[in-house]
Structure 1
Amino acid sequence: MGWWKHAGDELRFSPEKMAKVSLFETERMFCDVYGLEPGQSQKPHVHSDADKVYHVLEGEGLFQVGTESRVLGPGMVVHAPAGSEHGVSNCGKGRLALLVVMAPHPRFRKI
């Protein structure tokens, strides 16, 4: 079973749009790596009943959570609580790599 992975080995980038690669997925959560080229973004959106955490692995990103925005670099972490509008854009000159965890997993939420 794949209990251990190196996020950097799984990371991908695409010239067309932000790239997402799933590292782990259960009925309770998912963990992905996102790769954003300069100028790419994840448009602001809302998850009504799931929290999301972004951890910056490399690069600089402009993160929005609710009405607040902040530029974060390597080692920084941001929490987007359920119900809050959130998004990220690569505002740096290099690539932006993120480790992203969300729980509960929206695909398996109980209705």
Structure 2
Amino acid sequence: MQIQRRGDGHHDWSLYEGEGRVGIEWYFADTTALGAHVMLYHLAPGASEGEHRHLTGAADSCSAESSDEMYIVTRGEVVFSTDGDERVLAAGDAAYAPAGLRHGVRNASAEPAELVLVFGPPRGEAAA
């Protein structure tokens, strides 16, 4: 059995030319056998990860492999953007970004926000 507690392995990173730093807890990053990875994002007011995409072979991809991503808001609210379209998501809302779609998330509110981020290879592709 493996247990990871809140705060274990916490990092504050600047991502994809976003504003401020994103607090990230990556759950079982080096030990999971699941086909997907899970992170908890902490976004202070004004923080963002910046728009990016995950697409194998694309010069502007932020990762070597294609990856689908799902963002689930657990606290506060965020603005989820995809290629210029913006939507406000509140606690309990989710957004999905298939591989190759430019997307990003930012906290435009005055309160902290938290999101669960689940990402992995598109359906039918083997996990690395």
TM-score interval, normalised by the smaller of the two chains:
0.7 to 0.9
Aligned-partner Cα distance in 1 for 2:91–2:100: 26
* AA aligned opposite 1:66: D
Aligned-partner Cα distance in 2 for 1:94–1:24: 28
Task: Answer 1 or 2: which has greater helix percent.
Answer: 1
Report the TM-score when normalising by structure 1.
0.79
Percent identity over the alignment is: 30
> Runs (4+) of structure 1 moved beyond 3 Å?
9-14, 24-27
Report the TM-score when normalising by structure 2.
0.70
SS in 2 for 1:42: coil
List alignment gaps of at least 5 residues for structure 2.
13-19, 56-65
Q: Which of residues 25, 28, 31 in structure 2 aligns to 1:24?
A: 28
- The total of aligned residue pairs comes to 104
List alignment gaps of at least 5 residues for structure 1.
none
**Number of the residue aligned with 2:74:** 57
Q: Which has the higher contact order (CA 8 A, sep 6+)?
A: 1
Select the structure of larger CA radius of gyration. Answer: 2
Aligned-partner Cα distance in 1 for 2:43–2:105: 9
Counterpart mapping for 1:1-80 below 5 A? 1-2=1-2, 9-10=6-7, 17-25=21-29, 26=32, 28-48=35-55, 49-80=66-97
Contact residue 40 and residue 116 of structure 2 kept, 8 A: yes
Task: Answer 1 or 2: which has greater strand percent.
Answer: 1
Distance 1:41 1:82, change over 3 A: same
Distance 1:104 1:80, change over 3 A: same
